[in-house]
Every structure is written in structure tokens, then in C-alpha cells.
């Protein structure tokens, strides 16, 4: 399964990390590169 998270704020980043822990391919998109790199 592939999931795209739009916004790497508190909700998007934590949700993306949780999905990734379960083996889901996650793509996080945000306008601030520093948030995505984190």
C-alpha cells in the first residue's frame, strides 16, 4: 500500500511515521524542506 501525507506538521508527520512502522510506503509532502527531512 502507498500513502501520501500532505503536510508534515504534527499530525501528518506522526501519522506518516506510524504508517511506516507498519510497512506502508509513505510519501510526505510539505513546502518546508526541513520538516520533510526530519
Q: What was the pLDDT predicted at 27? A: 93
pLDDT at 15: 93
pTM: 0.74
Give Cα 25 to chain centroid, integer Å.
10
**Neighbour tally for 35: CB within 10 Å:** 14
- Give the model's pLDDT for residue 8: 86
What confidence tens digit (pLDDT) does each residue in 1-38 have? 999 999 988 898 899 999 999 999 999 888 988 877 77
- pLDDT for 23: 95
What distance in Å separates the CA atoms of residue 26 and residue 20, rounded to the nearest whole number? Answer: 6
Amino acid at each position: 500500500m502507498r500513502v501520501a501525507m500532505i503536510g508534515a506538521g504534527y499530525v501528518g508527520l506522526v501519522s506518516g511515521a506510524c504508517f511506516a512502522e507498519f510497512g506502508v510506503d509513505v510519501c510526505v509532502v510539505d513546502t518546508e524542506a526541513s520538516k520533510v527531512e526530519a
